[in-house]
Structure 1
Amino acid sequence: MQDVREEIEDLNALVLDGKALEAFERYYHPDVVMQENEQAPTVGKDANRQREIAFFNAVTEFRGAAVQAVAVGDDASTVVWHYDHTHQDWGVRNYTQASVQHWQDGLIIREQFFYGS
């Protein structure tokens, strides 16, 4: 459990330093499955990398992010984030999101994001 705690803390620090794509490359499994709420999941690191790049390219103004809570269990972690940004398609977004990660071999193999619309 200590390894997951150290890894999620480093991943969060990278995100807070504006290095989310570096965190993605370092901590996500080649077969990662990522899912927004109950939408269809995106499968594989390449597809998820493209999804992440498209998201960051569509953020027109970034006002902040903060970690509000972290929970760690056996090969699992949950991070509650608060985000404040403007997206070119969605407008002003100021919201709280829970990210639930499942770890395998020191990498995130599955992640699901839960947030309101």
Structure 2
Amino acid sequence: MASSSSSPAPPRTDASAVAVERSPPASRLSELGVRSWPKWGGGPGRIALSYDARQTCYLVRGKVTAAVEGSPSPEKVHVEFGAGDLVVFPRGTRCTWHIAVAVDMHYAFDPS
């Protein structure tokens, strides 16, 4: 998963760059090799994250609202995703996950 430390990565200037693909077809998941990615799971609560690399994750179960920093507006952008969603967090994204329902997910990092 992403780093939970306070690394010096700058916040994104375009917080809307977090992409959520709702219920992608099995062919897309197979093409990406999602089932071979590492797994992570966590219970309800909050976790602050800073992405040093682009992360793609596929939620097998759970429900999350991510409060993304770096929005052009004074308020944080909130992105909701859950079971069956494929989510991409660009490198440099800083956010706080508010996990409402325990999460099980596959994830992959792309250092570019």
TM-score using structure 2 length? 0.27
Higher RCO, Cα 8 Å, sep 6+: 2
> More helix by proportion, 1 or 2?
1
